[in-house]
Chain A
Amino acid sequence: MNKRISRVFLVDDHPLVREWLTNLLNQLVDLRVCGEAAGAGKALDGIRATQPDIAIIDLALPEGSGLALIKSIKAEMPGTAIVVLSMHDERFYAERAFRAGARGYVMKGESTSSIAAAIREVLGGRLYLSPRMQAAFAERFADGDLSSLHAPAKKLSDREIEVFRLLGQGYETRRVAQSLNVSIKTVQAYCARIKEKLQLANASELLREAIRWSDAQSAG
């Protein structure tokens, strides 16, 4: 029985959470907490120093954001896997966390018993999502939504792509209209057509899709 012990770094601003998470993980034979931090700055220093196998990160941190921290870790130490443990609603944040580089998302206080399982899944090279999010992702995949991540360029006209690109850069309707020198009504008509072509339910989905596409474009 010479199982390798994986080292875990905790980032959470709540002392109670850190303390009991340490207790929880340390009583498992295959995991050992090697360090902890309450803020993003200290976390990055600590992770550099300890080089853990995996980091458990809260999204709401007193200094800096968890998402930015995930990106920094990903850029500096790609070998460190990341699991998010947050109070934030997974429906809105799981996808962003995954895009930033996390491999697992657990909602605090919702599935406490699966924290260890999530860590092991991610250490094993797999992704971890709650069954509810897995179902939601699968549904979107079945709808062709995920596969269309790079498809907009093929489905949309040049002008629609232009609108889609500006939306993805965080421009809203009025600014898109201004920068393309067209009326707001025209932009809305483009938006309606884009939504129809990409099968998006409404503008917030359109915005999320546009941001995701824009991120993917700039990443690759």
Chain B
Amino acid sequence: MGWWTGFLEQPSRTWIAIAAVLLTLCIGEFDYATGTLVSLSAFYLLPVSLAAWFVGAGFGLLIAALCVAVWVAGSMISGDASFGGPLLIAWNGTVQFTSFVVVVFVLVKLRRLNRELESRVNERAAALTREIAERERLQHLVLEASEQEQRRIGQDLHDGLGQHLAGTAIAGQVLREKLERRGLQEAADAKKVVELIEEGVSLTRRSVKGLHPVDLNAEGLMLALEEFAATTSRLFDVKCRFVCESPVLIHSAANAEHLFRIAQEATRNAVQHGGAANIVIELNTLEEGYELRIEDDGIGVPRIPPSTGGMGLRIMAHRARMIGAGFHAARRAAGGTEIVCRLPVAIEDRLAS
């Protein structure tokens, strides 16, 4: 079985050559047996074509010559009248041979064109694959760069502006106490200034949370999701719960951040487009890795994804791909949407060790 299918897929040249010779002899024998009245000369095209297509021009011509020889010999032995004299033999043989030569030439040419076309298609396909890979790499870099920039801005806000404002608040407090000691009314204004600066610190903290939501330690994702669920419940008219059965430690900050953004996007979709009343964000450990699952009881994802828009889903899928995680979004049987992202353990462990 094996050799046979192998033969069909990629016939070996030796086998084709042997087959062509045998076929020629068989047709010659058959031609001889059927006598002179039935012309079988067209059947010789089969071995000639096989030889020319699969083996090459030279062997094609050789088989063509063999065919002519067999045909002439058969006709002469069976006493065909048209092979009366050497001149007639030479003439008929030459005509037949010429027609075979034309066939061989055409087939060889066709074969070469075919091969060229094939290799060009392969080249294009390879180029396209390379281009797609390159584009994905670039997208990855762009997203990574923008997130890195966000982290950097967040860090700067936290360590720079936040600390500066905190120092300024202390300076304001110094002024306030001085004014109070002198019994001046302006102390109340100074107090107000301190409070305003403190509001500035709290605004800075909030911006930092938005830019850089996941704390840089392994339990950061659990804490961030817990806080995010609480904030979502408080700010919107939904019940958002974070469920985590046993500790999930994500050691790569990039992985943690992508998973958090996926949860954030899924929750935002559920609130803004899905009209959900309940959202559950789960973080699970599976035998083969980690699972982030966001379920809601809203209207569910559209059955046919919109051709325009639907960027949220696409970005989530893209984020999942970037960290080597599986992603799927579907309607739940009970109604609503489920979004599942699975991070294989090998990817996370490589970074942990």
Contact = CB atoms under 8 A, between A and B. Distances in A.
A124 B287 CA distance: 54
Contacts of A183: 287
A16 interface: yes
Contacts of B163: 14, 16-17, 87, 108
B166 A173 contact: no
Given A27-B178, A109-B166, A204-B222, A173 B248 contact: yes
A136 to B, nearest CB: 13
A24 to B, nearest CB: 5
Interface stretch (A69-77, A97-105, A110-118, A149-157): A110-118
B226 interface: yes
A24 B167 CA distance: 11
Given A203-B244, A206-B246, A20 B158 contact: no
Interface in B156-192: 158-159, 162-174, 176-178, 191
Given A92-B223, A192-B245, A23 B286 contact: no
Interface on chain A toward B: helix, strand, loop, or mixed SS?
helix
B343 interface: no
Nearest to A174: B285
Contact of A207 (B171, B178, B222, B345): B222
A183 B242 CA distance: 24
Contact of A203 (B197, B248, B345): B248
A79 B126 CA distance: 72
B246 to A, nearest CB: 4
B159 A60 contact: yes
A26 to B, nearest CB: 9
> Which of B165, B173, B287 is most buried by chain A, counting CB atoms within 10 A of its CB?
B173
Contact of B198 (A17, A60, A112, A206): A112
Contacts of A206: 246-247
A173 B285 contact: yes
Interface string B261-291: 0000000000000000000000101110000
A42 B247 CA distance: 37
A129 interface: no
Interface residues on B, range: 35 or more
A191 B246 contact: yes
A108 B204 CA distance: 12
Contact of A20 (B170, B202, B247, B285): B170
A126 to B, nearest CB: 22
A78 to B, nearest CB: 28
Contacts of A203: 222, 244-248, 283
Nearest to B288: A184
B25 interface: no
A125 B299 CA distance: 58
B153 to A, nearest CB: 16
B174 A23 contact: yes
Given A24-B174, A110-B202, A87 B166 contact: yes
A8 B324 CA distance: 52
A109 B223 contact: no
Contact of B166 (A17, A172, A176): A17
Interface string B122-149: 0000000000000000000000000000
A207 B247 contact: yes
A109 B286 CA distance: 42
B201 interface: yes
> Which of A19, A89, A112, A184 is most buried by chain B, counting CB atoms within 10 A of its CB?
A112
A148 interface: no
Interface in A177-207: 183-184, 187-188, 191-192, 202-204, 206-207
A191 B247 CA distance: 9
Interface in A119-133: none
> Which of A14, A20, A174 is most buried by chain B, counting CB atoms within 10 A of its CB?
A174
B194 interface: yes
A188 B244 contact: no
A83 interface: no
Contacts of B286: 184
B238 interface: no
B287 to A, nearest CB: 6
A115 B172 CA distance: 13
Nearest to B221: A204
A109 B169 contact: yes
A27 B178 CA distance: 8
Nearest to A60: B159
Contacts of A207: 219, 222, 247
Contact of B245 (A108, A113, A176, A188): A188
Q: Which 5 A-B pairs have the closest CB atoms?
A: A109-B201, A16-B167, A191-B246, A203-B244, A108-B166
18 contacts: A16-B167, A16-B168, A17-B163, A20-B168, A20-B174, A23-B170, A23-B171, A109-B202, A112-B198, A113-B176, A115-B173, A172-B246, A172-B249, A173-B248, A203-B245, A203-B247, A204-B219, A204-B226
